[in-house]
């Protein structure tokens, strides 16, 4: 009997919960290896922990470094068919060097040089763009040009054709969020190349996309437009609305009314105007404003999140890590690790003194599958 070709390796160990190490047990384990079998009793601690024990680690990436490296890539790495995008992804330090921000989420900085195009394609991976600074790039989704400006959030559900086009004489960077790791792990991905060039008509750059004209009016839906495809039909959530909604929550709080998450902590969720659900089937996106001097309560949640500091500065604690953060910095919150933030009075460059955080997470996966839990640490 030889097990040399089996990928299974079983080690009989002397431990309280394990069977006695005997020649019979060793023979049994060789038999398991031979037949490609693994017992539960050696694996249960790893596979079925008392609460999620994430393989990912809490980690912070500095925007300054990302932007610097992206600009270098802009000089020497072309964008074209095959590579498809000049996108550089966060690789969580404990996920084996893979470009996975967390177990399920991809987060990357994407960089487009003046007048450059990223070619058209589509894929089942759900995606969005979020713009922490700059302007001038248009995303063309299904033939609809969508401008990108600071603070804008652009969801783009799976299987929509899309390309990017920088219409200005300046380079531009933004972040892409996708469910690439999730679809990689569950093996659900399809991909298709589109046209090599978008049309002249799509290079026209209106202030508002067609999707905004149809779906961007509060509480109003077009009578004649059917929605069958997954994801939000609204392709841009402009900053002016997000900012206004957050201001309104804090004003309500000041007037003595409910609306904020906790004192000094306003938050909105980007939602699908067709059915009120999350903007993407697998990704939740939110914007949190933490007023000057506010410390939020630590919260744990099934699944993971990625945050980007949009404005202000402060201190963030995730699990055992604490960082000072400022505009553009990105950090990840692995599953069931407590996350809290403090806005730092006086040290901010924003008008309001608030710490503004963009956040995305995989919560819709767990809610859809009845696996979602949250816990507020006392």
Q: At residue 89, what are phi and psi to the nearest 5 degrees?
A: -100, 150
Tell me, what DSSP letter sits at residue 101? S
Write out the binding residues for a copy of itself, residues 294-333 only, by CB under 8 A: 302-304
Q: Which is closer to a copy of itself, CB of 195 or CB of 213?
A: 213
**301 neighbors 373 (Cβ within 8 angstroms):** yes
Residues near a copy of itself (CB under 8 A), total: 149
Min separation Cβ 346 and a copy of itself, Å: 27
**111 neighbors 172 (Cβ within 8 angstroms):** yes
* Cβ count near 99 (within 10 Å): 17
Query: Residue 199 interacts with a copy of itself (CB under 8 A)?
Result: no
- Dist. CA 227–CA 311, nearest whole Å: 35
Closest CA to 133 of 332, 358, 331: 358
Site string for a copy of itself, 244-283 (x = CB under 8 A): xx--xx-xx----xxxxxx----xxxxxxxxxx--x-xx-
Applying CB under 8 A, which part among 167-175, 212-220, 291-299, 315-323 lies near a copy of itself?
212-220
Q: Which is closer to a copy of itself, CB of 167 or CB of 250?
A: 250
Query: Residue 12 interacts with a copy of itself (CB under 8 A)?
Result: no
By CB under 8 A, name the one of 1, 4, 76, 200 that touches a copy of itself: 76
By CB under 8 A, name the one of 13, 114, 199, 222 that touches a copy of itself: 222
By CB under 8 A, name the one of 200, 219, 346, 378 that touches a copy of itself: 219
Tokens standing for residue 70? 């992206």
Site string for a copy of itself, 27-56 (x = CB under 8 A): xx--xx--xxxxxxx-xx--xxxxxxxxxx
By CB under 8 A, name the one of 116, 125, 151, 308 that touches a copy of itself: 125
By CB under 8 A, name the one of 4, 9, 200, 346 that touches a copy of itself: 9
Would you list the DSSP string of 55-71? SS--EEE-HHHHHHHHH
Closest CA to 269 of 288, 249, 291: 288
Applying CB under 8 A, which part among 165-173, 217-225, 311-319, 350-358 lies near a copy of itself?
217-225
- Dist. CA 314–CA 341, nearest whole Å: 7
Q: Which is closer to a copy of itself, CB of 47 or CB of 378?
A: 47
Show Cβ contacts of residue 286 under 8 Å, excluding neighbours closer than 6 positions.
267, 268, 269, 270, 358, 359, 360, 361
Q: Which is closer to a copy of itself, CB of 115 or CB of 373?
A: 373
- Dist. CA 165–CA 23, nearest whole Å: 67
**352 neighbors 290 (Cβ within 8 angstroms):** no
Query: Residue 22 interacts with a copy of itself (CB under 8 A)?
Result: yes
Query: Residue 180 interacts with a copy of itself (CB under 8 A)?
Result: yes
Query: Residue 221 interacts with a copy of itself (CB under 8 A)?
Result: yes
Site string for a copy of itself, 133-152 (x = CB under 8 A): --------------------
Show Cβ contacts of residue 187 under 8 Å, excluding neighbours closer than 6 positions.
none
The two beta strands, 339-343 and 106-112, are: unpaired
Min separation Cβ 99 and a copy of itself, Å: 4
């Amino acid at each position: 009997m030889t097990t040399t070709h089996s990928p299974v390796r079983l080690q009989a160990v002397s431990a309280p919960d394990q069977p006695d190490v005997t020649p019979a047990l060793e023979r049994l384990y060789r038999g398991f290896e031979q037949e490609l079998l693994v017992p539960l009793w050696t694996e249960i601690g790893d596979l079925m922990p008392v609460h999620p024990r994430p393989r990912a680690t809490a980690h912070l990436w500095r925007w300054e470094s990302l932007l610097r490296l992206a600009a270098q890539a802009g000089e020497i790495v072309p964008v074209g068919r095959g590579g498809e995008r000049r996108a550089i992804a966060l690789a969580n330090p404990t996920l084996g060097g893979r470009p996975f921000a967390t177990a399920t989420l991809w987060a990357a900085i994407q960089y487009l040089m003046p007048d450059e195009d990223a070619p058209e394609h589509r894929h089942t991976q759900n995606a969005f763009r979020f713009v922490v600074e700059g302007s001038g790039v248009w995303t063309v989704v299904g033939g609809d040009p969508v401008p990108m400006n600071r603070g804008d959030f652009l969801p783009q559900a799976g299987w929509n054709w899309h390309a990017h086009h920088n219409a200005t004489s300046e380079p531009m960077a933004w972040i892409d969020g996708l469910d690439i790791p999730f679809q990689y792990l569950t093996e659900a991905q399809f991909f298709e190349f589109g046209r090599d060039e978008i049309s002249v008509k799509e290079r026209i750059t209106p202030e508002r996309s067609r999707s905004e004209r149809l779906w961007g009016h509060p509480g109003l839906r077009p009578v004649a437009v059917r929605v069958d495809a997954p994801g939000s039909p609204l392709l841009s959530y402009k900053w002016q609305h997000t900012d206004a909604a957050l201001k309104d929550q804090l004003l309500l709080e000041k007037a003595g009314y409910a609306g904020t998450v906790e004192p000094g902590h306003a938050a909105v969720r980007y939602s699908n105007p067709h059915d009120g659900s999350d903007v993407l089937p697998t990704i939740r996106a939110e914007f949190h404003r933490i007023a000057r001097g506010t410390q939020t309560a630590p919260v744990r949640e099934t699944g993971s999140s990625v945050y980007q500091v949009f404005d202000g500065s402060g201190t963030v604690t995730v699990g055992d890590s604490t960082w000072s953060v400022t505009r553009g910095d990105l950090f990840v919150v692995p599953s069931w690790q407590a996350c809290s933030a403090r806005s730092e009075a006086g040290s901010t460059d924003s008008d309001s003194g608030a710490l503004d955080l963009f956040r995305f997470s995989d919560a819709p996966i767990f809610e859809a599958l009845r696996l979602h839990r949250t816990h507020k640490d006392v």
